[in-house]
């Protein structure tokens, strides 16, 4: 791609990120946190799984990366709402820990991606590894929501 196409692509990805963030906040308020987290992460994993298959053209690649970006950013405000609800007395601590773990996850993901690229010699399989990690995240979210639901039922 030339510079102008890269700029347009980055703009489109930014717009999809903003849409995802807005949908995440709306979803947390209207559809529920668990449902919004589950669906956004499923779309995220699905986009990563399809990315290597749909890289046949720039257009399909950008579409899949845009869906990936939107679904990724959809999860963030939803999880922040969840963490604040879990610790209303110390929301600043919950959100700072969330940010710290996001940064740790990025670092670990980069390390895993680098290991895969060094082992295989190309980047084709890195989206599948990312999708696997998102699926692990879905499992962790499901466990967290199940524990919270059990606590709520026990308190009643």
pLDDT by residue (tens digit) across 90-137?
999 999 999 999 999 999 999 999 999 999 988 888 999 999 999 999
- Residue 156: band (very low, low, confident or very high) from pLDDT cuts 50, 70, 90: low
Query: pLDDT band at 56, cuts 50/70/90?
Result: confident
- What's the number of domains the chain is made of? 1
Q: Evaluate whether 78 touches 30 at the Cβ level (below 8 Å).
A: no
* Biggest CA-to-CA distance, the chain: 61
Q: Give the span between the Cα atoms of 151 and 124, in whole angstroms.
A: 43
Q: What is the predicted pLDDT for the residue at 9?
A: 95
How many beta carbons lie within 10 A of that of residue 153, not counting itself? 8
Q: Which domain holds residue 120?
A: 3-155
**Closest C-alpha to 123, from 133, 112, 132:** 112
Q: CATH number for the domain including 40?
A: 1.20.1250.20
Residue keyed to tokens 């692990």? 136
Q: Within 13 A of 17's CA, how many CA atoms are on the CB side?
A: 9
Nearest Cα to 101, choosing from 123, 80, 116?
80
pLDDT at 152: 75
Q: What pTM was computed for the model?
A: 0.87
Position 137 scores a pLDDT of 93
């Amino acid at each position: 791609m030339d510079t102008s196409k890269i700029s347009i692509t980055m703009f489109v990805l930014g717009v999809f990120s903003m849409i995802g963030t807005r949908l995440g906040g709306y979803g947390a308020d209207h559809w529920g946190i668990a449902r919004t987290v589950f669906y956004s992460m499923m779309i995220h994993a699905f986009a990563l799984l399809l990315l290597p298959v749909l890289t046949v053209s720039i257009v399909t690649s950008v579409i899949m990366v845009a869906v990936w970006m939107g679904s990724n950013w959809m999860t963030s405000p939803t999880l922040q709402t969840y963490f604040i609800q879990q610790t209303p007395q110390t929301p600043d601590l919950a959100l700072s820990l969330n940010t710290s773990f996001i940064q740790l996850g990025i670092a670990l993901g980069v390390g895993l991606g680098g290991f895969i690229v060094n082992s295989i010699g190309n980047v084709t399989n890195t989206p599948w590894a990312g999708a696997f990690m998102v699926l692990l995240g879905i499992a962790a979210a499901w466990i967290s929501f199940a524990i919270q639901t059990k606590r709520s039922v026990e308190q009643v």
